[in-house]
A and B are shown apart, each in its own frame.
Chain A
Amino acid sequence: MNIAVVVRQVPDLIEPLEIAPSGTEFDFGSASFLLNESDDHALEQALLLKEAHGGHVTVVALDFGDVDNTLYTAAAKGADRIVKIARDDAPPPPRAAAVLYAEAIKPIAPELVLVGVQAHDELDGGVAPFLAAALGMPYVGVIRGVAVGAEPGAVAAFKEFPGAVMARMNVKLPAVLGILGADQPPRYVPVSRIRGAMKTTQFEESAAAAVSSEPLTAIARLYPPAAGSRAEMLSGSETEIASRIVDILAQKGLVK
C-alpha cells in the first residue's frame, strides 16, 4: 500500500512556553521542539502496514524547527521517501498548513494518508480532517490501530470511544485517518542507524506554496491558565511527604 504520513514539530512542554511581547503568539526563541506524539504513532502505523502488506511510506513535513532530525529518524525506521515543504518562516496555522500538505501529497497519489489526530498547539481541530477536505478524501479520526480489511480496497480502522470501547470502521480507500495510537508503540531506532540515514537519505523538496486566505478566527491573547484552586503543596524530604500523605489518608479513614 502506498501510504503518506504527515509529521509536525511541536514545542516540548517540559520547558515553560514563553509568550511574545505581542501577547498573541509564542516566543519560540528558547523552546525546543519534538515530533508530535500522535504523528509518531501515525508513522509507526504506516511502517507496520508496509511491513505486513508491502508498499511504501512517504513522510511529508514542513521545514521547521528540528524537523531534519525527525526526518532522518523516520528514514532510519524504514520510511522510503521524505518530502520537505520549504518554508522561510514559522508554519502557518493548521488549517492553512493542511492546504500546503495537500499540495505536497497529491503527486504522491497515496491510497492511505495517516496524520496524528491532534497536535497540542492547535486551536482549530487539527490538520488531519482539513487535509482530508483539501484532498477530497473521506476522513475518520481518533483511531487506534489499522488493519487491512477483508474487502479489497478498504481498511478496518479502530475508532476510540469512552470506556476502552472501539468502533471498527470500514474505510474505503483512498482516505485520510487521524491516528491517536498505532497497533504497537513507536519503535526505537539506535543512533547509529540515524547517523547512517543522515549519510544516505535524500530529501525531496515540494514546491507547494501557501495561498493566502483570511483567517476565520483571531487570537486576542495568550495567557497561562488561572490557578483557581491550586493543590496544597507538601514539602520536605520523601519521607516527610510520605508521612504527611499517610496522615491525610488516616484522617479520611483510608488507612487503618
Chain B
Amino acid sequence: MAKDVLVLAEVYRDALADVTWELLAAGRTIASATGGQVLALVLGPNGAAHAPALGAADRIMVVDDPRLADYAPGPYVAALQEVTAAEQPRAVLLGATSIGWDVAPLLAARINAPLVTGCKEIQPEGEALRVATSFCGGKMMAEVRVDGAPAICMVLPGSFRPADAAGQAKIEPRKLPSPLEPGAVRFDGWVLPEAGDVDITQQDVLVSVGRGIQQKDNLELAENLAGALGGAVCASRPVIDQGWLPATRQVGKSGMTVKPKFYLALGISGAPEHQEGMKGADLIIAVNTDPQAPIFDIAHYGAEVDVLDLLPALTEAIEAKRG
C-alpha cells in the first residue's frame, strides 16, 4: 500500500503559506505510522529558495516551470497531478487557502480521489484514514473515514502544531514529462488594497463587529467605544460585503491577521475563516446572543447579551473609569 504523504508547500507572493508547517506535521503523523516519508512539493521558478525552510520534510521536490510563476489553476493542478501520479502517495495535504480551495477539489475530480475539507485531525487507521473535520461554520464536527488513496485533505489553518524545520532533505528538481499548458484561467496581476486607511494590524485594541451589528447606523456605537478605548473598529466579512467598512478592516482568511492586546468580538459567530485572523490576540472578549457560537470556544471571556444593549453601557463605563 501507499505510505508516503505529499504536502503542497504553497508560495504566496514570495513566501511560504503559514499552514505549510502544519501540513508537514500532519503528514509526519500519517507517514510514520507505516514507515512512509513526508514529501514537500514547491511549484514555481523560485521554488528552491524556499527549500531551507522545509527541513521537516524527508524529500523536497521543486517543479520549476515558467507557467507556475504566478498562480493559475490549470498549470498548478497539472503539475500536482503529475507528481501525485509519479509518487503514488497515501495522502495529499493542502491548506484551506485560496489556492487550496481551487486545487484540492480540481485534483480530486481529475483523478477521482476522495476529498475532505475542514480537516482538524488526521489519524491513520490500518489502510484507511480517520479525519475529524469542522463544518457548519464551526458549529459541527464530522468524523470521516477515507478508504481510497490518495486521500486529498484540506487542512484548516491553526489545527496542527507546526513541525519545526530540523532535517537534511535535499532538493530534487522535478522535470515534468511535457511543458505545462497555460490553461483558460491566467494570472493578470495583483490588486493591492488602497493605502491610507487605519492599519488594524498595528492596533493594540480592536473593536470588531459582525453581522450581529445589523445595520450600518449601529457602527457608530462601535466607533464610540473604539474612541473611548483608544483603538480601531474592524469587522468580519459580512460587514465588509455590505460595504459598511473598507476591505482593509476585514479580519480573517481573506482579510488581515491581527494580534492586538485586546480583541472585542461583537456579534461575530467565530467561523474558522474569521478565527484564522484573530485567535492569536492576547485577550479576547466575545459578545453574542447565541450561547453555542463557536467564538466562545476561543474567547477568554464571553457575554450572552445583545451587542446593541452592551455597546452604550460599555462605552459609558469606560468613560466613567477614565474620568
- Residues of A near any B CB (own CB < 8 A): 11, 13-14, 16-17, 37, 41, 95, 117-118, 120-126, 129-130, 132-134, 138-142, 144, 156-172, 175, 178, 180-181, 184-185, 216-235, 238-239, 241-246, 248-250, 252, 254-256
Contact A218 B145 (CB under 8 A): yes
Q: CA–CA, A229 to B298, complex, Å?
A: 7
> Mask for B221-244, Cβ within 8 A of A = 1, else 0?
000000001000000011001110
Contacts of B144 in A (CB 8 A): 123, 217-220
**A164:B193 contact, CB within 8 angstroms:** yes
**Inter-chain contacts of B183 with A (CB < 8 A):** 138
Which residues of chain B come closer than 8 Å to A224, judged between CB atoms? Answer: 139-141
Q: Does B138 contact A (CB under 8 A)?
A: yes
Q: A171 with B138: in contact, given A130-B105, A166-B190, A184-B243 (CB under 8 Å)?
A: no
Instruction: Report if A231-B302 is in contact (Cβ < 8 Å); known contacts: A164-B250, A254-B261.
Output: yes
Q: Is B184 an interface residue (CB 8 A)?
A: yes
Say yes or no: is B210 at the interface (Cβ < 8 Å to chain A). no
Partner of B256, one of A141, A164, A181: A164
A133 to B267, CA, bound (A): 38
Tell me how far the C-beta of B98 lies from the nearest C-beta in chain A, rounded to whole angstroms.
5
A142 CA to B71 CA, complexed, in Å: 13
27 A-B pairs whose Cβ atoms sit less than 8 Å apart in the complex: A118-B101, A123-B118, A124-B116, A133-B110, A139-B102, A156-B188, A162-B254, A163-B256, A164-B254, A168-B188, A170-B185, A170-B188, A185-B242, A217-B115, A218-B144, A223-B142, A224-B141, A225-B134, A225-B294, A231-B296, A235-B304, A245-B285, A246-B321, A252-B261, A254-B229, A254-B262, A255-B318
- Does B243 contact A185, Cβ atoms closer than 8 Å? yes
Known: A184-B243, A217-B146. A231 touches B185 (CB 8 A): no
CB distance from A151 to the nearest CB of B (A): 10
Would you call B317 an interface residue if the criterion is a C-beta within 8 Å of the partner chain's C-beta atoms?
yes
- Contact with A165, one of B105, B191, B238, B322 (Cβ below 8 angstroms): B191
In the complex, the chain B residue whose C-beta lies closest to that of A225 is B141
Contacts of A134 in B (CB 8 A): 109
Q: How far is the CA of A244 from the CA of B140 in the complex (A)?
A: 31
Interface string of B209-227 (1 = CB under 8 A from A): 0000000000000000000
Contacts of B299 in A (CB 8 A): 231
Determine the residue in chain A with the shortest Cβ distance to B197.
A164
Q: How far is the CA of A256 from the CA of B290 in the complex (A)?
A: 31
Select which of A233, A249, A252 is within 8 A of B302 by beta carbon: A233
A-B contact count (CB 8 A): 270
Q: How far is the CA of A251 from the CA of B91 in the complex (A)?
A: 48
Interface residues in B93-120 (C-beta closer than 8 Å to A): 97-98, 101-102, 104-106, 108-110, 112-118
B255 nearest CB across to chain A (Å) = 6
- Contact call A165/B117, Cβ cutoff below 8 A: no
Q: Are A232 and B300 in contact (CB under 8 A)?
A: yes
> Would B248 and A248 count as touching, CB distance under 8 A?
no
- Closest residue to B262 on the A side, CB-wise? A254
Determine the residue in chain B with the shortest Cβ distance to A173.
Answer: B184
Residue of A nearest to B256 (CB): A163
Instruction: From B146, B248, B256, B285, name the one whose CB has the most chain A CB atoms within 10 angstroms.
Output: B285
Chain A residues near B148 (CB-CB < 8 A): 216
How far, in angstroms, from A157 to B133 measured CA to CA in the complex? 30
| Best-buried of B105, B146, B257, B316 by chain A (most CB within 10 Å) | B105
